[in-house]
Structure 1
Amino acid sequence: MHTSGDVDEPRYGWVVVWACFVALAVIFGVSYSFAAFFEPFAAEFDASRAEVSLVFGLSGLLYFVLGAFAGMLADRHGARRVASAGMLCIAAALVAGSVAGTMTQVTLAYGVGLGLGIALVYTPSIGCVQPWFTRRRGLAAGLASAGIGAGTLVVPLLAAGAIAAWQWRGAMQALAVGVLLVGLGATLLLRTAPSATRRAGATVAGTPLGQALRGRRFAWLYAMCVLGAPSMFVPFAHLSASARDLGVPEAQAVGLVGLIGIGSLTGRFAIGAVADRIGRPWTLVGVMASLGLSMGLWLVARDYAALALFALWMGLSYGGSVSLMPALCMDFFGARAVASIIGTLYTGAALGNLAGPWVAGRVFDATGSYATPIAGCGLLALAAAYSAWRAVRS
């Protein structure tokens, strides 16, 4: 039975949502499985931690930067083709990495190949969801992007088990098979919404990419992404280390990153649904301000309970902001170039992904304290909230 609010939301839209959920779970699950391969890489190739860390940093840099181009390809050729090509690229990168004989070969395969593949899947998949929905666009975007949190929680555990059973080379090959079976199966279900389908002689409604890039609203949204990125990535790299400095046991310290994932998963589900009721634009401002305020708790935390509360709070804010961005791009700019616009905005996170954790580590090495990086992240996130407010008012 359909209600009046479902007229513009065909049932197949929910198939696309769950296909996107699975696709994002696969690609980010593989990406964050890098932690399980860290020690095997270092031992196999007698590599330093800096050399091994470069693989992950390079992958993240590439998928954020190349996401804009992937979005343009998806707007022209369709999300299914582009995202499916990305899954094939990821599987090939894993197979190539599994037979690598040097750390350089691992970097090219796992770092460059995986980064390219994730770029081809991420933006086209999340951009494909938005045009299917109107009234429940925030909920749909939240459900789809929740795949990132789910994959982050599940796939690294599977990778660790596979390494224990088949060594790291066999584990990478097993992941490649999983990408082909599960990931490619998901991307093949992606379909362009009727409202975004390009017909001969007709133009899809919405703002062209070039016009969007020249607008003040886009500029403020981009500033929000640049300013907010360090607060999203520094905790992933340094929260566990800061907990160890306070005497928190190893297992609990590492588990704090899992709590960020739980908070993020909750934020993607809950905040998207709430935003549909109270307004997506102002909810974005709220979650960015919440991200900045959460850093204050990290700054004063002196025990595990406070750090755990911070991890959940930060994850909730981070997950909510990530789930709202695609829906808001559709709200503000329409379907015409939505994947391209989303991808271009995500390039703003590239610097934070690569430089944020590195700068925080350098400051700690020099001062013996995380206080300055944490305070800096908080101030930058509050500046990001101001940028979001300006974007909403534009």
Structure 2
Amino acid sequence: MNLKVCNDVVLPSQHVSTGECVGDPMNEMKQDGDQVFPDGGWRAWSVVLGSWCAMVPSFGLMNTIGVFEAWLADHQLRDYSKASIGWIFSLYMFFLYFGSVQVGPLFDAHGLAPLLIPGCVGLIASLMIFSVAEEYYQFMLGFSVLGGISSSMVFTPSVACIAHWFLRSRALATGIAATAGGIGGIIFPVLISNLADSLGFPWAIRTIGFISAAFCCLSVALLRTRVPLNSAQKGRVDIRSLRELRFSLLTAAIVLIDFALLIPLTYLPSYARSHGMGDTLAYNLSSILNASSIIGRVVPGYFADRLGRFNIMVITSFICSIVTLALWLPSKSNQAAILAFAVLFGFWSGTAISLAPVCVAQISKTEDFGTRYGTTYCLVSIGTLIAIPIAGELLKVQTSTGQDNYTGLIILCGLVYSCACVLFVLSRGVSVGWGLTVF
């Protein structure tokens, strides 16, 4: 049995039916220009630390939306449906992803400070507004709009700065920085569960705001650029690239896994509380899931470089579907099963953040990656916009006892992961054929 190794970038001009592969993508990137990258040293790694500090608040808040949703549904917004509350967090996610598509070219054209500093100020302001908000529109404007846009202004430049300092070790450096979102997703839910009862929810959120302010100040002090500005930079969305079948299939798969990821991330704490789990442990489910996802962003990535990035995405999306339908769906009041789901799902879903962009790069020319990445995540932003409200609408179907019925929501999550798995298989097959191949 011959096992072909096709783990490098596949250029659109090649005839993929032969199963041929192109050369080392790192060599190709070295030929893109005359830039010399430090690829290490205290200054370069201090930029990674600065990026990490920027991602703790910006992506950490995204990983805390399950706790936010559960609290608001029982307190300030208890008269609103879960679907209506879901729009608050879907809109936040939309601005985070869609805003990043717009912020990237602005960073290339105008540099770091005009984006990072206002973004940090806006992010802290959004948390302070969140802490005093009582009405629906206040959460929508203060957190969803201001917080989402500000987070994209913090997150996107912090990632882009790493690319200014690293080439050969870029994936490692970016992966290290990306663990910050999981760390924030561990710290923030624990703070809320421990401080909300003693100090009150407003002061719990303000404490998160103060911690975020400290991390933002560190990011401003540490982040630096080194590549000249490109004032001719344009927007990075090209819908015409979707005419390429394997790219359109991959984009659809990524949209679906981000859609499905938000459902447990948002509704697992509420599900646990509705089935008898105590508030503290239910809120800490988000921390458990995020802690597991940190490992899930590193370990599958290690094997992806050896077994193939697309292959790992197929495996992880399939396993996410299985644990959702076979473990979460029948768990009911079984707290051990709910905890096991949080751990397993957190681990296997981590590739949605770490490997999905790598798959886009693998079937793109280096010079086209920015455009194709922007196109993909422009569509992902639409998926994240509708995911939580759709899941919330399914909760309107109640049991005979009057409790929310999570069955439809869980089945939707599992089926969407299954569809994503099929699309990854199809995109891989169109790229390198249907045999056993490292791709």
TM-score bin, normalised by smaller chain = 0.7 to 0.9
Conserved? CA contact 1:288–1:384, under 8 Å: yes
Aligned length: 385
Conserved? CA contact 1:66–1:116, under 8 Å: yes
Q: Spell out, residue by residue over 1:196-241, the C-alpha distance to the aligned partner (whole angstroms, 9 max, x if none).
A: x56799x9xxxx7538844524422320122223320111233334
Give the Å deviation of 1:381: 1.3
Give the Å deviation of 1:353: 3.3
Would you say 1:349 and 2:374 are equivalent positions? no
Conserved? CA contact 2:56–2:181, under 8 Å: yes
Give the Å deviation of 1:123: 3.1
Give the Å deviation of 1:88: 2.2
Conserved? CA contact 1:123–1:343, under 8 Å: no
Q: Which of 418, 421, 427 lines up with 1:382 in the alignment? A: 418
Larger Rg: 2
Would you say 1:145 and 2:175 are equivalent positions? no
Measured in 1, the distance between the counterparts of 2:410 and 2:72 equals 31
Would you say 1:261 and 2:294 are equivalent positions? no
Q: Spell out, residue by residue over 1:353-383, the C-alpha distance to the aligned partner (whole angstroms, 9 max, x if none).
A: 3433333343343263433432332222122
What is residue 88 of structure 1 aligned with on the other side?
121
Would you say 1:10 and 2:15 are equivalent positions? no
Conserved? CA contact 2:186–2:290, under 8 Å: yes
Inter-CA distance 319–335: structure 2 relative to 1 (3 Å threshold): same
Give the Å deviation of 1:103: 4.5
Conserved? CA contact 1:233–1:352, under 8 Å: no
TM-score, normalization by structure 1: 0.79
What is residue 301 of structure 1 aligned with on the other side?
331
Would you say 1:231 and 2:260 are equivalent positions? yes
What is residue 370 of structure 1 aligned with on the other side?
406
What is residue 271 of structure 1 aligned with on the other side?
300
TM-score, normalization by structure 2: 0.72
Query: After the TM superposition, which residues 32-111 of structure 1 pair with which residues of structure 2 at under 5 Å, given as runs?
Result: 35=67, 39=71, 48=80, 53-79=86-112, 81-97=114-130, 103-111=136-144
Inter-CA distance 71–387: structure 2 relative to 1 (3 Å threshold): farther
Give the Å deviation of 1:154: 0.7
Conserved? CA contact 2:59–2:155, under 8 Å: no
Measured in 1, the distance between the counterparts of 2:275 and 2:134 equals 40
Partner SS, residue 238 of structure 2: helix
Inter-CA distance 115–67: structure 2 relative to 1 (3 Å threshold): same
Conserved? CA contact 1:264–1:316, under 8 Å: yes
Of 104-113 and 330-339, more deviation after overlay is shown by: 330-339
What is residue 314 of structure 1 aligned with on the other side?
345
Aligned residue identity for 1:121: V
Measured in 2, the distance between the counterparts of 1:286 and 1:388 equals 10
Give the Å deviation of 1:282: 2.8
Conserved? CA contact 2:97–2:152, under 8 Å: yes
Partner SS, residue 259 of structure 2: helix
Inter-CA distance 47–321: structure 2 relative to 1 (3 Å threshold): same
Aligned residue identity for 1:292: S
Measured in 1, the distance between the counterparts of 2:168 and 2:203 equals 46
CA-atom RMSD in angstroms:
4.0
Q: Which of 238, 243, 254 lines up with 1:210 in the alignment? A: 238
Inter-CA distance 379–48: structure 2 relative to 1 (3 Å threshold): closer
Q: Which of 137, 154, 161 lines up with 1:121 in the alignment? A: 154
Give the Å deviation of 1:17: 3.0
The structure where helix makes up a greater share of residues is 1
Q: Which of 177, 190, 194 lines up with 1:157 in the alignment? A: 190
Inter-CA distance 345–124: structure 2 relative to 1 (3 Å threshold): farther
Give the Å deviation of 1:85: 3.1
Conserved? CA contact 2:70–2:269, under 8 Å: no
Measured in 2, the distance between the counterparts of 1:155 and 1:384 equals 30
Partner SS, residue 40 of structure 2: coil
Of 223-232 and 336-345, more deviation after overlay is shown by: 336-345
Measured in 2, the distance between the counterparts of 1:246 and 1:94 equals 30
What is residue 19 of structure 1 aligned with on the other side?
50
Measured in 1, the distance between the counterparts of 2:73 and 2:175 equals 35
Gaps of 5+ in 1: none
Conserved? CA contact 1:26–1:155, under 8 Å: no
Measured in 2, the distance between the counterparts of 1:249 and 1:126 equals 38
Q: Spell out, residue by residue over 1:263-303, the C-alpha distance to the aligned partner (whole angstroms, 9 max, x if none).
A: 21111122223323433343233322332232232234353
Q: Spell out, residue by residue over 1:75-130, the C-alpha distance to the aligned partner (whole angstroms, 9 max, x if none).
A: 33345643343212212333455566855334322221101101222333334435
Inter-CA distance 391–259: structure 2 relative to 1 (3 Å threshold): same
Q: Spell out, residue by residue over 1:12-38, the C-alpha distance to the aligned partner (whole angstroms, 9 max, x if none).
A: 543333322221111233455564697
Partner SS, residue 73 of structure 1: helix
Aligned residue identity for 1:86: G
Aligned residue identity for 2:301: G
Conserved? CA contact 1:30–1:156, under 8 Å: no
Of 161-170 and 139-148, more deviation after overlay is shown by: 161-170
Give the Å deviation of 1:42: 7.5
Of 62-71 and 123-132, more deviation after overlay is shown by: 123-132
Of 277-286 and 62-71, more deviation after overlay is shown by: 277-286
Of 75-84 and 333-342, more deviation after overlay is shown by: 333-342
Would you say 1:189 and 2:219 are equivalent positions? no
